[in-house]
């Protein structure tokens, strides 16, 4: 079931989205060589605490997970695609890291992710991140009333495939509102003109994930959460929470 949000409710979701944006900016600023993933989680946790927000990630346990998620951010390094659990790993020069963060404020959730490099970047990593951001922008541009979920999926997939990257099957975006994961699902590849029609008041987390090696294959770590590329190549993830309005897509997790 899809809950359509009022203009006032979307404004309230924007407040949660700003907290997410601030947390991601703070984590990115703190992410330097030698800093641990647990350090980055603490940075995000402090931003949420100061804003009076809570984390929809912390303690979250979907059906596939053997244990509740133990952190407020997902920190996925190099060949980790998504859902990386922050631990004592210390960032190294040239690492590619994706940070996914959520915030719940006033009963509403915001959810966003960003990928970036630490220290001296590899040109191939910069191209991968640029493609993920371009795929996200294309998906957002397609999030207008009268289009369908398949139009968003097709826009994302077209950009990713044209750049030669893989797209992990079965993982993509989702509705967001009072909960972090709501209907409908938003695939990262699909056929235009198919799927649920987009209506004003729908709010979606749009989140392309791209694999540098060109394969779509992935595996799950023994922690039951972290997804990694099967070929060991690097991955990038970009995400925004987006409201569909009569005036066009409204990004709720922008800075």
pLDDT of 34-86, one tens digit each?
A: 999 999 999 999 999 999 999 999 999 998 899 999 999 999 999 999 999 99
Average pLDDT value for residue range 215-227 = 96
Token readout for 216 is 């779509």
Predicted local confidence at residue 63, as pLDDT: 87
Mean pLDDT to the nearest integer, 172-179: 97
Give the side-chain half-sphere CA count within 13 A for 202: 28
Nearest of 85, 124, 109 to residue 243 by alpha carbon: 109
Q: Tell me, rounded to whole angstroms, the distance of Cα 251 from its chain centroid.
A: 13
Q: Residue 92: its pLDDT value, please?
A: 98
Who contacts 61 (Cβ-Cβ below 8 Å, separation ≥6)? 67, 68, 69
C-beta of residue 103 within 8 angstroms of C-beta of residue 109: yes
pLDDT at 120 over 90: yes
Longest pairwise C-alpha distance within the chain: 48
Compute the mean pLDDT over every residue in the chain, rounded to the nearest whole number. 97
Question: Which of the 8 DSSP states describes residue 4?
Answer: P
Q: What are the φ/ψ torsions at residue 11 (nearest 5 degrees)?
A: -60, -40
Would you state the structure tokens that stand for residue 33, as one six-digit string? 């060589």
Proportion of the chain above pLDDT 90, given as a percent:
98
Tell me the two tokens of residue 156.
Answer: 């994302």
Long-range contact pairs involving 122-125 (C-beta distance under 8 Å, separation at least 24):
122/94, 122/96, 124/212, 124/234, 125/94, 125/96, 125/212, 125/234, 125/236
For 3, residues 6+ apart whose C-beta sits below 8 A from its C-beta are 175, 177, 178, 182
0.95 exceeded by the pTM? yes
pLDDT band (50, 70, 90) for residue 1: confident
How much is the average pLDDT of 187-200?
98
What does the pLDDT read at residue 64? 86
Q: CA 220 from chain center: how many Å?
A: 18
pLDDT at 110: 98
Alpha helices in the chain (DSSP H): 7-30, 37-51, 123-141, 149-162
Helical (H) or strand (E) element with 57: none
């Amino acid at each position: 079931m899809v809950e359509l949000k009022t203009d006032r409710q979307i404004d309230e979701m924007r407040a949660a989205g700003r907290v997410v944006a601030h947390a991601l900016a703070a984590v990115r600023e703190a992410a330097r060589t030698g800093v641990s993933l647990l350090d980055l989680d603490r940075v995000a946790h402090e931003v949420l605490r100061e804003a009076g927000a809570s984390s929809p990630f912390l303690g979250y346990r979907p059906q596939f997970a053997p244990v509740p998620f133990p952190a407020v951010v997902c920190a996925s390094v190099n060949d980790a695609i998504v859902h990386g659990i922050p631990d004592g790993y210390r960032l190294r020069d040239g690492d590619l890291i994706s940070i996914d963060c959520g915030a719940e404020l006033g009963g509403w959730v915001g959810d966003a992710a960003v990928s970036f490099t630490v220290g001296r970047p590899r040109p191939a990593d910069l191209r991968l991140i640029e493609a993920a951001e371009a795929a996200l922008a294309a998906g957002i541009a397609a999030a207008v009333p009268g289009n369908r979920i398949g139009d968003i999926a097709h826009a994302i997939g077209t950009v990713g495939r044209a750049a030669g990257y893989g797209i992990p099957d079965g993982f993509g975006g989702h509705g967001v509102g009072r909960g972090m994961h709501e209907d409908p699902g938003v695939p990262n590849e699909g056929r235009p003109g198919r799927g649920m029609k987009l209506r004003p008041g729908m709010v979606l987390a749009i989140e392309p994930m791209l694999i540098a090696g060109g394969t779509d294959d992935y595996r799950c770590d023994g922690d039951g959460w972290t997804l990694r590329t099967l070929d060991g190549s690097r991955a990038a993830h970009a995400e925004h929470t987006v409201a569909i309005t009569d005036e066009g897509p409204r990004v709720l997790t922008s800075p």
